[in-house]
């Protein structure tokens, strides 16, 4: 069985419409949904493939991916938009649409809604039957990893350096928690309060914004200080100015393997959109399960 864009045409003719309505309504009610869903999708596809393994809740017998430390910051809005779509789809066509397809299409709709490129999402993914916290913890990239390690993670699922740089343009929207950058902005070294790869004024702005983060762990800052809600190429324009929020963002500008692509996407938004669309379309096919390798979950947060 192969994936196709018309997979639900007969079995669930209202699929596209229900997805469009659900994502639009959710994004209008909660504007942080787009970033939340996009990161959730990335974290799903990197671990066990795009199979909704990240949506599973833990049980007394299994600590699931979503309870891995690295996933605790995934905002509820990303999960919620999937649950809403699943509820509507189960009424319209019970037992037909997978949670993995719902997350893939919700992400695409939201990227497009924020002004990003449209791309095709092939359908027919089945939901996975494995979700283990240690696998998420050991697989996903973190901002303090060396560029070598980050490149290796993407290479292991078939992505080039250029594709990795394009995908990370996702940081043109959304937030990072202060805890992700505290070691870069407070008491960075004996000689510098903050990481010198920051623009100094930006660093002091971040220090102010995060001042209370120990008492208030939910404090966050924009990933793209210039256009935090628009899916555009301003993320790449920020990097040469020292306006990258995460250490891994600023590292894209420091490393000679990644810098040329940062510069390309900074000057050419069309090139970024084309590369992002191709890369996320490819990501959306990573490790997909078909036939008896998966199931159509009744609820997205538990195995059948």
Tell me the binding residues. Answer: 44, 47, 49, 51, 53, 65, 141, 171-172, 224, 227, 232
Note whether 77 binds Ca ion by CB under 5 A.
no
| The two three-digit tokens of residue 91, written as one number | 């009424």
Dihedral sign, Cα of residue 115, residue 168, residue 257, residue 203: positive
Q: What is the DSSP letter of 143?
A: T
The interface partner of residue 227, options being Ca ion, ligand HEM, none and the CB cut-off 5 to 8 Å by kind, is Ca ion
Question: Which residue lies nearer to ligand HEM by CB, 227 or 248?
Answer: 248
Q: Rounded distance, CA 161 to CA 257, Å?
A: 7
Binding span for Ca ion by CB under 5 A among 7-15, 151-159, 183-191, 231-239: 231-239
Q: What is the DSSP letter of 57?
A: P
Question: What are phi and psi for residue 10, nearest 5 degrees?
Answer: -85, -45
Say if CB 178 and CB 287 are below 8 A apart: no
Q: Rounded distance, CA 72 to CA 54, Å?
A: 11
Binder of Ca ion out of 234, 248, 258, 284 (CB under 5 A) = 234
The interface partner of residue 36, options being Ca ion, ligand HEM, none and the CB cut-off 5 to 8 Å by kind, is ligand HEM
Indicate the annotated binding residues for Ca(2+): 44, 47, 49, 51, 53, 65, 172, 224, 227, 232
| The two three-digit tokens of residue 295, written as one number | 């199931």
The interface partner of residue 141, options being Ca ion, ligand HEM, none and the CB cut-off 5 to 8 Å by kind, is ligand HEM
Single out the residue of 88, 98, 17 nearest to residue 51, CA to CA. Answer: 98
Catalytic-labelled residue, pool 26, 43, 289, 297? 43
Single out the residue of 55, 54, 244, 70 nearest to residue 141, CA to CA. Answer: 70
| Window 154 to 193, contacts with Ca ion (CB under 5 A) | 172
Note whether 227 binds Ca ion by CB under 5 A.
yes
Closest distance between ligand HEM and the C-beta of residue 135, in Å?
A: 17
Closest distance between Ca ion and the C-beta of residue 280, in Å?
A: 15
Q: Rounded distance, CA 219 to CA 209, Å?
A: 8
The interface partner of residue 234, options being ligand HEM, Ca ion, none and the CB cut-off 5 to 8 Å by kind, is Ca ion
Note whether 224 binds Ca ion by CB under 5 A.
yes
List strand residue ranges (DSSP E) for 165-281, in order.
175-177, 220-222
Question: Which residue lies nearer to ligand HEM by CB, 50 or 88?
Answer: 50
Question: Is 43 noted as a catalytic residue in this protein?
Answer: yes
Catalytic machinery residues: 43
């Amino acid at each position: 069985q192969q994936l196709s864009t018309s997979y639900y045409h007969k079995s669930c003719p209202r699929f596209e419409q229900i997805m469009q309505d659900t994502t639009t309504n959710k994004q209008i009610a909660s504007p942080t949904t787009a970033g939340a869903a996009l990161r959730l999708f990335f974290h799903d596809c990197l671990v066990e493939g795009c199979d909704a393994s990240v949506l599973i809740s833990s049980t007394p017998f299994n600590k699931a991916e979503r309870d891995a430390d690295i996933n605790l910051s995934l905002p509820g809005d990303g999960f919620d938009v999937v649950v809403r779509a699943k509820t509507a789809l189960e009424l319209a066509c019970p037992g037909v649409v997978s949670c993995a397809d719902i997350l893939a299409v919700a992400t695409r709709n939201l990227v497009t809604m924020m002004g990003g490129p449209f791309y095709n999402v092939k359908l027919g993914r089945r939901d996975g039957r494995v979700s283990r916290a240690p696998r998420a913890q050991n697989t996903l990239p973190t901002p303090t990893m060396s560029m070598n390690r980050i490149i290796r993670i993407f290479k292991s699922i078939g992505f080039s350096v250029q594709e990795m740089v394009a995908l990370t343009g996702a940081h043109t929207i959304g937030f990072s928690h202060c805890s992700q950058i505290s070691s870069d902005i407070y008491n960075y070294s004996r000689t510098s309060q903050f990481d010198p790869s920051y623009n100094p004024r930006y660093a002091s702005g971040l220090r102010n914004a995060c001042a209370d983060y120990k008492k208030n762990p939910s404090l966050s800052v924009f990933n793209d200080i210039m256009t935090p809600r628009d899916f555009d190429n301003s993320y790449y324009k920020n990097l040469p100015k020292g306006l990258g929020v995460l250490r891994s963002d600023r590292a894209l500008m420091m490393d000679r393997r990644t810098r040329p692509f940062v510069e390309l996407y900074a000057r050419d938004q069309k090139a970024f959109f084309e590369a992002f669309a191709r890369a996320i379309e490819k990501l959306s096919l990573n490790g997909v399960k078909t036939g008896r390798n998966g199931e159509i979950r009744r609820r997205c947060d538990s195995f059948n």
